[in-house]
Chains A and B, each alone.
Chain A
Amino acid sequence: MIRRLIKQNRLFAIGLTLCAIWLIIAVIAPYVVPYDPLYQDLTARFSSPSAEHWFGTDALGRDIFSRVMTGSRISIGAGLLTIVFAAAVGVIYGGISGYAGGLIDELMMRGSELVQSFPTIILAMVICAALGPSLYNALIAMVVVWWPNYARVMRSMVIQVKSNEYVEASKSLGASRFRIFFKEILPNSIGSIVVLGTVDFGNAILLFAGLSYLGLGSPPPTPEWGLMVSEGSDYFQHWWMASFPGLGILTMSMGANFIGDGVRDFLDPKLRKEL
């Protein structure tokens, strides 16, 4: 499938390349970057990009190239973790809701709509502010605002699968609800969830960068892209400070979205609407 996609869609190939590059960087960054991303050299503050410092240095004389490269680990990690946890919460929630049906279903769906009708970043902001800024709290906030989509998809999948004959059959054979859920419904729905996760990844990175920009992500001195843009935005004349971490966010998120677009196009129109 992937091979066919690459052939058909050049943008998908670009996306795949971008993501692969970032993934490799994230893995090897700590071993290959020229400087310790936390090392301060006050004599080299605000150096513009040069052979010594490819992306220049920041207000404390830290090497921005090393910081951007190392920062990829946090962005990728945060994006992935958010998607995984949000999917897990959504699958369980949507699964129960769809499976139970009736009043419970109705109530649970209204509950998820409640979360969805909140403006995402404001809810995340309030949660972060209340819990205090840290990477974990930012992740919690992201998961809290992120799961309803998965719940909705899972629920409709469950309802679809539930009415299929083979589930009816296993039900009449006396299999427990639990068993049916894990043996029949989950494997049948997981494909759509994975697709949704792929399509979503770019957005997750963006939201995380936004929170981090507002100072609600990891505390300093962590090299986090959003935070670095925010630090750099205080120094317009030193354009490199904000530009490079921003490019990091842009390229990674674009890569993810190219892949997401490709996957979306590949799906049949029916499923596309669900997403």
Chain B
Amino acid sequence: MKKTLLLVFLLLLLFAFAACAPAETTPPDGGDATPESEGTEGTEEATAGGEKQLIIAVNPDYESFDPAIAYEVYGMLVLHACYDNLFEFQDSLENLALGAAESYEVSEDGMTYTFKLKEGMVFASGNPMTSADVKWSFERGINMKGNGAFMGDGIVSIETPDDLTVVIQLSAPDPSFPTKLSYNVFSIMDSALATEHGATNAENAAEVDTAKTWLDSNSAGSGPYYIESYTPKVEVVLARNENYYGEAPYYDKISIKTVVDSNTQVMMLQAGDVDIAMNVDPEQAKSLEGVEGIEVKDAQSLTVSFLLMNRDPEVGGPVADPTVQKAIRLALDYPGIQTIAGPGMVTPVAPFPIGLFGSLPAMDVSEYPKTEEALALMEEAGYADGFTVDFYVPTTIVAGVDFSLLSQKIQSDLNTIGIQTNIIPEDVTISLETYRTGKQPLGLWYWNPDYPDNNSQLAFLPGQSVGLRANWTADMNPELAELAIEAASIVDEDAREEAFATIQEMMQEDTPFACLLQHTSQYAIDSSLQGVEYIDRYKFDLKAISGE
């Protein structure tokens, strides 16, 4: 009898869970159709036929696929496949080419851009693309006040004299404007379709636009693919857009799977479960060398990591002394840091990444660490006996480099010149607060250009946003501060190159930053894949990948 009771109990237990779990989570409004249920129905059809499918394992950061909101590093991997822009990068960051635009003209003063759209462009929905869609999308991008909205700051007006012409008026010449236009905040959306789902370009769009939820698991673009389904933390499934104007891409479906752990990604690649493992750390890359059927490739990013040394004595204490900061730059073991970070790493001389127009060549690190010189400078500054300082480190992995590991290496380097550090690890999001308000005496940080143009890096100069995080004010180096403002709007290429060179040379003498690395990460692919090229902006141009 007792046994029966027990059985009953166990059944009850099971039942209780099956019954109460979903009940608790039913939304108060009775639960309308959720995006994920639509999505999963979709994928089910996908496997029915023998279609060509590409599977990518990524540790992504995306939270939204609304072009006006998405700002995360991996957002463009999906968005670039689904939307067209007036400009786009082809094959590499050096080749900024026309996208949805057929041609464009710039007025002599550099302030008026006139675009002609390609004829016959059609959205995935079948709606034709017109200049009105461009205007609508740009206005929505700006008015949604997302993280990327600042890129539209210089735009005064957008006009559409006819269906294929867009005229954009700027308030000041901006040599980086075409680059900015390649960004997803300026992706061209199917305004009719988006409006149906609650999108608006009104000035108060940030408050009244309700399309985000829909746009997270659908797309309204004209790109080679469209978002078929999105299950957060699981996968994004892209399906081929049959209305695409260009050459049809090879794959019918692309599944971008969320696999947080890089070990797992590699294991899955080796087992043949995925075609691309996006996040491979250097050690795993080594172990994959010579494995048949797998190719390890370098992904050169524009991300620069650096050591921030505060200039405000009240925050930084002894660290605020420019002489000490110079000593720290000399004491760092750059070759060792590069070893830890993995193959292909370079160290820029100033926070201007190699590969962008106007950057100087990388630092020759072979002479470092220059401990003797550094010690002499410490003595000169009056800190021969060293000192102790707090060292803020965000817990994050930047392009395969664990900041925790990097900070321990720096700690041991600083030890050699008598500087003791207390590492304070904080979640990035928490640490950002003290970083942005300039309260970190010593901090380990990274910077990914908002758009691939060195104008974005001018933020590091005195009086500019990142400079101020080290409390490096304009009056500490008025000459550099002046240059920062000037350089931003120089249109002439030679003059621009010269201005940037001067800035970087001056920053080698006086700066509160020590550039550590420009990151290169590794990814591994099934070697039968073709056309897999890393473009930092997008990660991959998905339409270019094929299996033959």
Contact = CB atoms under 8 A, between A and B. Distances in A.
- Report if A and B touch in the complex (beta carbons < 8 A): yes
Interface of A: 38, 40, 42, 45-46, 59-60, 129, 132-133, 215, 219-221, 231, 233-238
A121 B434 CA distance: 27
Contact of B283 (A46, A60, A132): A46
A234 B263 contact: yes
A220 B263 contact: no
A129 B427 contact: yes
Contacts of A236: 263, 266-267, 284
B412 interface: yes
Given A40-B412, A219-B423, A234 B262 contact: yes
Given A215-B425, A234-B262, A60 B281 contact: no
Contact of A234 (B281, B340, B395, B430): B281
Contacts of B430: 129, 132
A132 B426 contact: yes
Contacts of A235: 263, 281, 283-284
Contact of A237 (B284, B339, B407, B409): B284
A59 B339 CA distance: 10
B284 to A, nearest CB: 7
B411 interface: yes
B24 to A, nearest CB: 15
B402 A234 contact: yes
Contacts of B425: 133, 215, 219-220
Contacts of B402: 234
Given A40-B409, A60-B408, A238 B424 contact: no
A59 B284 contact: no
A220 B425 CA distance: 8
Residue of B402, B408, B409 with most partner-chain A CB within 10 A? B408
B501 interface: no
Contact of A233 (B263, B287, B411, B423): B263
A60 B409 contact: yes
B393 to A, nearest CB: 8
19 contacts: A40-B412, A45-B339, A45-B340, A46-B283, A59-B283, A60-B408, A60-B412, A129-B427, A132-B430, A219-B422, A219-B424, A220-B404, A220-B407, A220-B423, A231-B405, A234-B262, A234-B263, A234-B283, A236-B266
Nearest to A233: B263
A221 B283 CA distance: 20
Given A42-B339, A215-B425, A59 B405 contact: yes
A42 B406 CA distance: 12
B218 to A, nearest CB: 34
Contacts of B262: 234
B288 to A, nearest CB: 10
Given A42-B340, A132-B424, A221 B395 contact: no
B340 A60 contact: yes
Contacts of A238: 283
Nearest to A238: B283
B336 interface: yes
Contacts of B411: 221
A193 B287 CA distance: 52
A84 to B, nearest CB: 26
Nearest to B262: A234
A234 B395 CA distance: 14
Contacts of A221: 408, 411, 423
A238 B422 CA distance: 28
Contacts of A234: 262-263, 281, 283, 402
Contact of B340 (A38, A59, A132, A215): A59
A59 B409 CA distance: 10
Nearest to A215: B395
Given A46-B283, A236-B263, A237-B284, A60 B405 contact: yes
Contacts of B424: 132, 219
- For the complex of A and B, the 8 pairs showing the least CB-CB separation, nearest first, are A236-B263, A221-B408, A219-B423, A237-B287, A219-B425, A40-B412, A42-B336, A220-B408
Interface in B386-414: 395, 402, 404-405, 407-409, 411-412
Contacts of B407: 220
Contacts of A40: 408-409, 412
Given A219-B424, A236-B266, 8 more contacts: A38-B412, A40-B412, A129-B430, A215-B395, A215-B404, A215-B425, A221-B411, A233-B261
Contacts of B281: 234-235
Contacts of B427: 129
A60 B426 CA distance: 21
Contacts of B339: 42, 45
Interface in B330-357: 336, 339-340
A168 B314 CA distance: 63
Interface string B245-273: 00000000000000001110011000000
A237 B262 CA distance: 12
B143 to A, nearest CB: 35
Nearest to A40: B412
A135 to B, nearest CB: 12
B291 to A, nearest CB: 12
A274 B241 CA distance: 66
B431 to A, nearest CB: 10
A221 B411 CA distance: 9
